[in-house]
Amino acid sequence: MDITDLTIKICRHAESKQNTGCLDIRDVGDYRIPLADEGATQALQVGRENAAFLRTPGTLFYRSPYLRVRQTMDNVLLGAGLKEPGGEPVVRVYEDPQLREVEHGYKSVDQQESMRKLHGWFYYRYEGGESPADCYDRCASFIESMMQQVRRKPGTRQIFICTHGLTARLLVMRFLYLTVEQFELLDNPYNCDVITIAPLKNLVNPQFASRRWGVVGLRVRKESEKNTPIVAEGA
């Protein structure tokens, strides 16, 4: 198979009860945070809007094991008609811990802001947790495993990944070989935003480009917006 035919859609989870301020990960545990009511509605809408893509035979589905992502994927599939309420999906969904949220440790993130600024937003490792650089490493490992699976399944042309905001940006960074400085231009996606990586020939006004690949759907900081794609170094 020619892997340049691939289209990859990466979806940040829907609005959770932490996003609304109803729950705190230090009280509940990050992986246990569920969706808010509005989040379920958001995910259903993503499923409806992307139904043609999601229902294409051979599409691969991946998700983080965190509860809010599981619930997002369930509602996306429900909206796309690939799952009945209370039933099992009619497609296989691969759950991969490498797609989990960046681990923020067990101490206040706000109290570590000065250290993050000093040592670099990308490099600073949260006390008892990870740095974005650590998450980048497992994103690289995930992409390698994913591409091996694509090669084993010759009919695969499309991939849908449901994960977390920072993890989504790091997947883009690794796939397009963005620099750290380019990564730091990216804002966190909104809940249920969908980012698309595809061949340049299939995209209109890609935000970043690397050889034959491009990406759309990112939130780029306003001061960095340009009318031409930001080309990754070494591309």
Q: How far apart are CA 85 and CA 87, in angstroms?
A: 5
pLDDT at 128: 83
What value does the mean pLDDT take over residues 75-97? 97
pLDDT at 224: 53
* Mean pLDDT, all residues of the chain: 91
Helix, coil or strand: residue 219: strand
In DSSP terms, 95 is beta-bridged to 63
57 vs 228, higher pLDDT: 57
- Name the CATH superfamily for 3-105+134-231: Phosphoglycerate mutase-like (3.40.50.1240)
Q: Which residue type occupies 55? A: R
Q: How far apart are CA 86 and CA 88, in angstroms?
A: 7
pLDDT at 21: 92
pLDDT tens-digit series, residues 139-148: 999 999 999 9
Q: How far apart are CA 210 and CA 194, in angstroms?
A: 19
- Please name which of 69, 23, 20, 19 lies closest in space to residue 46, comparing C-alpha atoms: 69
pLDDT at 230: 56
Residue 235 has pLDDT above 50, yes or no: no
Domain boundaries, the chain: 3-105+134-231
Written as one string, the DSSP assignment of 182-198 is HHTTEEPPPTT-EEEEE
Written as one string, the DSSP assignment of 108-171 is -SGGGHHHHHHH-TTTPPPTTS--HHHHHHHHHHHHHHHHHHHHH-TT--EEEEEE-HHHHHHH
Helix or strand run (H / E) with residue 42: helix 37-49
127 vs 49, higher pLDDT: 49
Helix, coil or strand: residue 201: helix
pLDDT band at 150 (very low <50, low <70, confident <90, very high): very high
Least confident of 72-76, 109-113, 230-234: 230-234
Residue 234 has pLDDT above 50, yes or no: no
